[in-house]
Chains A and B, each alone.
Chain A
Amino acid sequence: MTKSLKIVVLAKQVPDTRNVGKDAMKADGTVNRAALPAIFNPEDLNALEQALRLKDRFPGTTIQILTMGPGRAADIIREGLFRGTDGGVLLTDRKFAGADTLATSYALACAIRKMEPDIIIAGRQAIDGDTAQVGPQVSEKLGWPQVTYAEEIMDIDGSTITIKRRLDHGVEVVSSSLPMVVTVNASAPECRPRNAKAVMKYKHAKTVSEIQEMSEDYVQRPGCDYLRIIEWGVANVDGEDVRFGLAGSPTKVKKIENVVFQAKEAKRLTAADADIDDLMGELIANHTIG
């Protein structure tokens, strides 16, 4: 029997790089964020669905989304609320800005220590950086086990979690103790839709900063504490200032290049066994495989 769980889902607001127009890149090769809509990182949605399924199975389970970004990243926490989470924390501070994966995972780990979850579920990677580093780095910093490339959290029994991983050559089922970190693949079930009642309930959920930006006569629905989205700055998490944001980021972007793959020596094969055997022979001979 598993009691209720405390889950933290790591999620990131990213520019939608899937529908890239002509103005997606600036002249200096950096991403033109203004031209791309900000979305919930797709694999983080797969992660969120895994969390919601655990909540469905184990009543009393709570889900918090943890995200780092500018004020508008509060949208990510609202998106979670619209789908069934219980709340979230927005890490936002000028001092967090400019973070590479090292500084990001440091900030997240500091916040997670305060949140004390049983499980952290994150998307495998974000579509803007494609590093797949943040989840594993968070687990290393916390000293917790990690399972990457997860497709399904199959079961939790006591303090043992069983997870199906999707790998290039097939699937693998592994177990781990709790607390731990899971990163989820896009092959996992897609996230459920927003729920109409949840949207009506939580559309007014706001961070303190957002409320301050509203007109003076704005009143949030009275007596509804659940409509406050928690905002933490550097001062709210215990950490060393030099390890946050740009200061804590050793990564330097030297140059961004647009790589176009070009097939030079294209060869067309038929589906006949003989052709395929020849190709295999060739690939083994030149050590492409084997």
Chain B
Amino acid sequence: MSNFFTDNKDLQFQLSHPLMKKIIEFKEKGFIDKDKFDYAPVDFEDALDSYHKVLEIVGDICANVIAPNAESVDQEGPQVINGHVKYARGTQKNHDTLAQAGLYGMSLPREYGGLNLSMVPYVMAAELVARGDAGFANIWGLQDCAETIHEFASKEIKDEYLPRINKGATCSMDLTEPDAGSDLQAVMLKATWDEKQNIWLLNGVKRFITNGDADIKLVLARSEEGTTDARGLSYFVYDKSHDCVKVRRIENKLGIKGSPTCELVFTNAPAKLVGDRKMGLIKYVMSLMNGARLGVSAQSVGLSEAAYREAVKYANERTQFGKAIIKFPAVYEMLSQIKAKLQASRALLYETSRFVDVYKAYNLVAEDRKLTPEERTELKEYQKLADIFTPLSKLFSSEYANQNAYDSLQVHGGSGFMKDYPIERMYRDARILNIYEGTSQLQVVAAIRGVTTGTYLAQIRKYEQTNVKPEHDYLKKQLIAMTNDYEKAVEDVHKANDNEYTDFHARRLVEMAGHIIMGYLLLIDAQRDDDFSGSAEIFVKLGAAWNSERYSYIMDFEQDDLGRFKAVMEESYE
């Protein structure tokens, strides 16, 4: 029986990371749940063993239910019937199977029916689901909403909504509107307080809402009449059973066709306020976004894995000029580059997940006792790292998923262009990854702070302290040289003292930092497991070349050159 978890050594490697002990011990608060819940672990080994066993269930369902359904789901897609969504049959089957297996609400505490999993195994499950079907990963991944409710909503709302998640209630986060996409401050959906019913009523239109007909919806709406910016927005939870939200239509998309993207009309939809008024966008959505970005990052790595395996399979099967095409340099180079990018983005994904895990775990501990000053410093440190690694991970894994799907299709030649092979679907599905939950351009806007504040550089210097095997010394030297160039390039851009100029080069700088970071992560992994040496060598070589291109572009660039680029603003076409 195939299993997407047990057939992937990299995931088991990530799960055995030394930091997992600390993460689990914090997350389980000294294993206090063991006397209250018969499925709670008694110690670290027990918990880690449970992580493995749960991921084996996920891997089994992904390999034997979700992946085999992916093609029919892509063809059939969801439909709108009487203002509500009917999933494709395969989608419904995927959802029902995962619900039966108890794989919703995975990170929720046990008192709400959850499994109390930390971020790392949860992200891993997301990667597995996406390898099975990237489109379905959205429907499954929206259980993130539970995390937001748990973190910010009142006890009353938590008690009402959270226990339903593990039983299979679906979720959606309703943010985007026709005139509020990347700029969510412009959200107009109106929330008015109804004195008589003692409840908020929502009215207006939302657009591009993934899984828009979900059982539980988190809705960003304008609660303060007369305001126009983020300070007038609050966050609400809505229950589908009120039947006051109609799906007007489902978008016809290039990819992830199984995931219903809805246009919604809210008519006097009763809703409850989540957290405090006016904090909707400023606090809650921002927090939700970070989780969602990590989710898309996992989705991207899962898709990369699927595409890579399709490419290797095809390259072994396909014979031309008397031999399997995998034996040709042009093909094996492509494949090993795909693999290097896949493993690099995975290393970054789990490093980021661990950062998130540690700071969230400290927050949990802080609920029960006062943290020591050292612990507080560490919490802040990890939170800062999580904040700037999350957009970096989203940026790279989604771009690499696209590149990997593109190259994997290329390995298939003409066959890859046909509907006969799954790679064409993966290629289409990949295209949204670097767009939604913030485009790559917006990830750069978030990540550039890591460049300007020196946080990336400080973390790189920390990685530099790792002792490496003598045979890897040259890689470390290479990475140190790349770091020095990166510092010079940052300095050069900084010198101009012009925000627009920094924005112009931001992506180049962020990417330079990212290549160095991923190079180090692979190198560090190679110290624990020699199997990573290959990808570490390939990736550092490529990264050095990519960085020197960026370096020379930046160093040869004059501030006045911006004008040539601005000239395009004069153009306009009807």
Contacts and interface: CB of A to CB of B under 8 A. Distances in A.
With a 10 A CB-CB cut-off, give which of A195, A197, A199 has the most chain B CB atoms: A197
Interface stretch (B34-42, B234-242, B507-515, B517-525): B34-42
B563 to A, nearest CB: 59
Contacts of A201: 38-39
A203 B103 CA distance: 17
A84 to B, nearest CB: 9
Nearest to B115: A196
Interface string A243-262: 00000000000000000000
A221 B35 CA distance: 10
B45 to A, nearest CB: 12
Contacts of A221: 42
Interface string A164-206: 0000000000000000000000000000111111111101000
16 contacts: A192-B97, A192-B100, A193-B60, A193-B101, A194-B57, A194-B101, A196-B57, A196-B101, A196-B106, A197-B115, A198-B102, A200-B40, A200-B50, A201-B38, A203-B53, A221-B42
Nearest to A196: B102
Given A192-B100, A195-B100, A224-B38, A200 B61 contact: no
Contacts of B473: none
Contacts of B115: 196-197, 200
A201 B60 CA distance: 19
B100 A200 contact: no
B315 interface: no
Given A193-B60, A193-B61, A224-B38, A200 B54 contact: yes
B54 A196 contact: yes
Contacts, number: 48
A197 B100 CA distance: 11
Contacts of A39: 1
Interface string B87-114: 0000000000100111100100000000
Contacts of B25: none
Interface string A221-232: 100100000000
Contacts of B41: 200
Interface residues of B, number: 21
B49 interface: yes
A194 B55 CA distance: 11
A272 to B, nearest CB: 29
Given A203-B49, A203-B50, A203-B53, A196 B103 contact: yes
Nearest to B60: A193
A196 B1 CA distance: 19
Contact of A197 (B49, B65, B97, B102): B102
Interface string A138-163: 00000000000000000000000000
Interface of B: 1, 38-42, 49-50, 53-54, 57, 60-61, 65, 97, 100-103, 106, 115
Nearest to B96: A192
Contacts of B60: 193-194
Nearest to B57: A194
Nearest to B35: A223
Residue of A39, A193, A203, A221 with most chain B CB atoms under a 10 A cut-off: A193
A201 B34 CA distance: 11
Given A200-B39, A221-B42, A193 B53 contact: no
Contacts of A197: 39, 102, 115
Instruction: Select the residue from B1, B61, B101 with max chain A CB neighbours within 10 A.
Output: B101
Nearest to A219: B42
Interface string A111-143: 000000000000000000000000000000000
A3 B173 CA distance: 43
B53 A199 contact: yes
Given A200-B53, A203-B53, A193 B100 contact: yes
B102 to A, nearest CB: 4
Contacts of A203: 49-50, 53
B50 A193 contact: no
A197 B61 CA distance: 16
A199 B97 contact: no
A192 B101 CA distance: 8
A221 B41 CA distance: 10
Contacts of A200: 39-41, 50, 53-54, 115
Contacts of B38: 201, 224
Nearest to B104: A196
Contacts of B97: 192-193
A195 B42 contact: no
A200 B53 CA distance: 8
B50 A195 contact: no
B500 to A, nearest CB: 51
Ordered nearest first, which 6 A-B pairs have the shortest CB separation? A200-B39, A196-B102, A193-B101, A201-B39, A197-B39, A195-B102
Nearest to A224: B38
A192 B40 CA distance: 23
Nearest to A227: B38
A200 B116 CA distance: 12
Contacts of B106: 196
Contacts of A224: 38
A197 B117 CA distance: 12
